[in-house]
Amino acid sequence: MERPRARLLEGAAWEAARPKILTIVFGLFAICGYQFSPRIADLGDTRLWRTNTRAVYGPLDAMSRHTIRLDRIRAHWCDMLRVAGSLTMGTVRAYDLIRMLSADGRTTGLGDAFAHYGRIFKTLHLLQFISDSGYRRMIGTQLNVQEGRHRLARKICFGNRGQLRQRYREGMENQLGTLGLALNAVVWWNTLYLDAAVKQLREQGFPATEDMCARLSPIRYDHINFLGRYAFTRTDLTTGLRPFHEQAANAESY
């Protein structure tokens, strides 16, 4: 079930440039069974929404004056479920779907239903973000991981600062696919050696606890030289890992 979430995150990344459709993204995540937990910019200007106009929310009453239209959600519920099925099965990309739901900057009827549905979960997210410090730390940790991945991608794709400046040509998207392949190769390499290093330290009696290991990251790149020519013609790839450097030589690059 990781692939549907990845497809939704693809649309969520595009959404960052268009905050008006943020609520649609909340709705898409929720109907597919996931929780969207972004860091909200301009938190003080963000609206809280209610489903019951007669309910009394105490101190939050003045902050939740806007009402979610449940009737619009009910009117499009069957179509919303079909959208969820299409996203889960991978027959439509979240990026393309969001564009269809907000064509020419105007939200369609189905898009409006998703927006109202998403406001339920956006409001719950905001309330938890405000009241739960652990939830805020969790979001911060997730963002740090994602930002670290972006830094590694920029380090790999350093030409033109990682920007594709030429006009579109068929197959150009393969450049981004290749970047993803190279990035995953770095993560895989680092993961293999981090795991081996932890095992070696434990065999030598060093108390490498789970808390310590939780702070390790496979997206570090200080030890990698990204310049030069790379040849992938070797057919006699040996098994096993390269020996670790001694502590005095830790500053050297691989």
**DSSP 8-state class, residue 38:** P
Q: Please tell me which residue, 74 or 12, carries the higher pLDDT value.
A: 74
pLDDT at position 162, please?
61
For residue 1, pLDDT over 60 is answered with: no
pLDDT at position 41, please?
73
pLDDT at position 82, please?
96
Q: What three-state secondary structure class fits 157?
A: coil
- How does residue 251 score in pLDDT terms, banded at 50, 70 and 90? very low
Distance CA 114, CA 101 (A): 9
Q: Please tell me which residue, 170 or 156, carries the higher pLDDT value.
A: 156
- Lowest mean pLDDT, pick from 13-27, 118-132, 227-241: 13-27
Tell me the pairing of strands 66-67 and 49-50.
Answer: parallel
β-sheet bridge partners, residue 66? 49
Is residue 31 a contact partner of residue 78, using CB atoms and an 8 Å limit? no
| Assessment of whether the complete model's pTM goes beyond 0.75 | no
Angle between helices 94-101 and 2-15 (to 10 degrees): 50
For residue 250, pLDDT over 60 is answered with: no
Q: Please tell me which residue, 70 or 143, carries the higher pLDDT value.
A: 70
For residue 6, pLDDT over 80 is answered with: no
Dihedral through CA 186, CA 188, CA 194, CA 196, nearest 10?
Answer: -130
pLDDT at position 45, please?
73
The pLDDT tens digits of the residues spanning 123-159 come to: 999 999 989 999 999 888 888 888 888 888 888 887 6
For residue 253, pLDDT over 70 is answered with: no
Angle between helices 94-101 and 109-131 (to 10 degrees): 110
Radius of gyration of the chain (CA): 23
The amino acid sitting at 126 is L
